[in-house]
């Protein structure tokens, strides 16, 4: 496993946390990996001050300088991806092949944002006033607080910190308490790449201090942007907390994705894709298929095919072994939640059609397929974030669209059909930020990622990603 420094990274230095240390565990084995810095709000204030001071010089860097810096980080991550993948699997639990895929995905964002530095275009604005000329320019917003999740920690660092650096912002990175080691590895990459002191800072803390650290990032007038990926509940708290300082806020929150299979669908492809998007990272994915709607005429055949696929393809265990393709849930809270949702569904009439063999460890949850689920079941109303396939029947297109949209969340949605007219109707009717037509891999560095309703604000990736980290300024030249 990669060697990781156990201290916080503030103003170009490795410093001990004033709160001591806290342990990081391997969810597959329960073993302690190492103890790292427990940062207090005083440590976080140091990081904010360092980022604010560094911003005064970094904001003046040319696009080519910022691009070169991002590509240095990219190249170092690429060179050390084997070490990073092992570290990611050890602290997060996902299989090594998925960890490597996440790192490759992260590299595409670093490349994209390096290229985007040169495309921060302004405008020349025609006006009816004869003796004036108007232009707009985009300028970096300032210090960005980047709060990353535990399910795709490396990718979210690349998305958030990469965009911040491309825009000319400095960053204070606060990783999830379950998976902080990859962020310290990233800090080591930044140090080796020659990132100036204070431009990237990493503060780590346990769950006990999350609220005080988050509050300071929201309350500080020096922090101009808060970018967060995580639960809707925490996003709501951050939203309200940032109000008094009127920050720019980017929120990528919970999903409740529908996966619809119409009668004309190529069934084998739908089964294959449903398996992938449901069981990726043991179901701990914000764009995971949360509610699988299957037309009543093909329901039984679909369920049978999924059951067969699960029997032959799901093998749970320690992701560091090539023998296994599904890891554990990340912590006890996630395991208890999945257990409660399945128990409730069964007690209210749902049937467990099949459960795969559970991995050897307390945090493994057996991959499960449920039928007879109704929209009234909590499992059909909440983000599951676990390897549970909930199947619901439908009769008509109108009915299933109504059911798919009957949620306060709207991140992604998928449907399978060979009817072109239906493809247009459904893609336009779905209340989501991203819709997949006969496709599940709908997230790339070049395209905007984000949801509607209570799934968040703003877009990550694409040319729109820098909007959250920049301010538009209008410049008027008069008396011409």
Portion of the chain with pLDDT greater than 70, in percent: 100
pLDDT value of position 2: 72
The string of pLDDT tens digits covering residues 37-66 is 999 999 999 999 999 999 999 999 999 999
CA 119 to mean position of chain CA atoms? 24
Per-residue pLDDT tens digits for 407-436: 999 999 999 999 999 999 999 999 999 999
Residue 1 has pLDDT above 90, yes or no: no
Q: Which amino acids are annotated catalytic? A: 252, 286
Question: Rounded to an integer, what distance in angstroms lies between the CA atom of residue 384 and that of residue 446?
Answer: 28
State how far the alpha carbon of 44 is from the alpha carbons of 59, 90, 145, 159, 182, in Å.
Answer: 21, 27, 10, 22, 19
pLDDT in tens, 236-275: 999 999 999 999 999 999 999 999 999 999 999 999 999 9
Residues of the chain with CATH 3.40.309.10: 257-444
Q: Give the count of beta carbons closer than 10 Å to the beta carbon of residue 158.
A: 29
pLDDT digits (tens, 9 = 90+) for 187-221: 999 999 999 999 999 999 999 999 999 999 999 99
Cα gap 53→41, rounded to integer Å = 18
pLDDT of residue 371: 97
Half-sphere CA count of 44, side-chain side, radius 13 A: 28
Question: Average pLDDT for residues 299-318, to the nearest whole number?
Answer: 97
* Parts of the chain belonging to CATH 3.40.605.10: 8-253+455-477
CA 214 to chain centre: 18
Q: Which two tokens stand for residue 232?
A: 């809707």
pLDDT by residue (tens digit) across 433-458? 999 999 998 999 999 999 999 999 99
CATH class of 257-444: alpha beta
The span from the CA of 455 to the CA of 251, in Å, is 8
**Residue 384 predicted with pLDDT over 70:** yes
- Per cent of the chain over pLDDT 90 is 98
What is the rounded average pLDDT for all residues in the chain? 97
- According to CATH, the topology of domain 8-253+455-477 is Aldehyde Dehydrogenase; Chain A, domain 1 (3.40.605)
CA distances from 1 to 4, 78, 99, 317, 386 (A): 9, 16, 13, 18, 27
Bridge-partner residues for 258, per DSSP?
291
Q: Alpha-carbon distance 172 to 214, whole Å?
A: 11
**For 227, phi and psi rounded to 5 degrees?**
-115, 120
CB 286 within 8 A of CB 255: yes
Virtual torsion, Cα 390, 96, 175, 412, nearest 10 deg: -30
């Amino acid at each position: 496993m990669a060697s990781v420094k156990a201290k916080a990274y503030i103003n170009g230095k490795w410093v001990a946390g004033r709160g001591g240390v806290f342990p990081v565990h391997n969810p597959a084995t329960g073993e302690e990996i190492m103890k790292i810095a427990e940062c207090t709000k005083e440590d976080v204030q140091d990081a904010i001050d360092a980022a604010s001071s560094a911003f005064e010089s970094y904001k003046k860097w040319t696009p080519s300088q910022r691009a070169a810096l991002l590509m240095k980080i990219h190249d170092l991550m690429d060179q050390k991806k084997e070490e990073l993948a092992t570290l990611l699997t050890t602290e997060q639990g996902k299989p090594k092949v998925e960890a490597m895929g996440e790192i490759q995905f992260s590299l595409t964002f670093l490349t994209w944002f390096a290229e985007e530095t040169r495309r921060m275009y302004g405008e020349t604005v025609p006006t009816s006033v004869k003796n004036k000329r108007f232009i707009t320019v985009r300028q970096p917003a300032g210090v960005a607080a980047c709060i990353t999740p535990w399910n795709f920690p490396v990718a979210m660092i690349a998305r958030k910190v990469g965009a911040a650096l491309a825009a000319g912002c400095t960053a204070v990175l606060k990783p999830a308490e379950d998976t902080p080691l990859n962020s310290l590895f990233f800090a080591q990459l930044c140090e080796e790449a020659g990132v100036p002191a204070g431009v990237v800072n990493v503060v780590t803390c346990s769950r006990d201090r999350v609220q005080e650290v988050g509050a300071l990032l929201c309350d500080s007038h020096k922090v101009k942007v808060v970018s967060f990926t995580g639960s809707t509940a925490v996003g709501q708290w951050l939203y309200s907390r940032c109000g008094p300082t009127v920050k720019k806020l980017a929120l990528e929150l919970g999903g409740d994705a529908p996966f619809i299979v119409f009668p004309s669908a190529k069934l084998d492809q739908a089964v294959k894709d449903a398996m992938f998007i449901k069981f990726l990272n043991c179901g701990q994915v914000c764009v995971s298929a949360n509610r699988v709607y299957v037309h009543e005429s093909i329901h039984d055949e679909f369920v049978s095919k999924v059951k067969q696929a699960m029997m032959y393809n799901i093998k749970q265990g320690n992701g560091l072994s090539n023998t296994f393709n599904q890891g554990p849930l990340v912590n006890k809270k996630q395991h208890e939640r999945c257990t409660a949702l399945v128990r409730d569904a069964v007690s209210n009439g749902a049937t467990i059609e099949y459960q795969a063999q559970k991995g050897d460890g307390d945090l493994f949850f057996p991959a499960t397929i449920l039928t007879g689920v109704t929209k009234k079941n909590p499992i059909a109303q909440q983000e599951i974030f676990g390897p549970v396939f909930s199947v619901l029947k439908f009769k008509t297109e109108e009915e299933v669209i109504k059911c798919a949209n009957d949620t306060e969340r709207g991140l992604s949605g998928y449907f399978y059909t060979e009817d072109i007219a239906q493809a247009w109707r459904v893609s336009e009717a779905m209340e989501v930020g991203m819709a997949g037509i006969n496709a599940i891999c709908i997230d790339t560095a070049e395209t905007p990622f984000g949801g509607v309703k209570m799934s968040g604000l703003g877009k990550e990736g694409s040319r729109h990603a820098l909007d959250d980290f920049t301010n538009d300024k209008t410049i008027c030249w008069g008396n011409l």
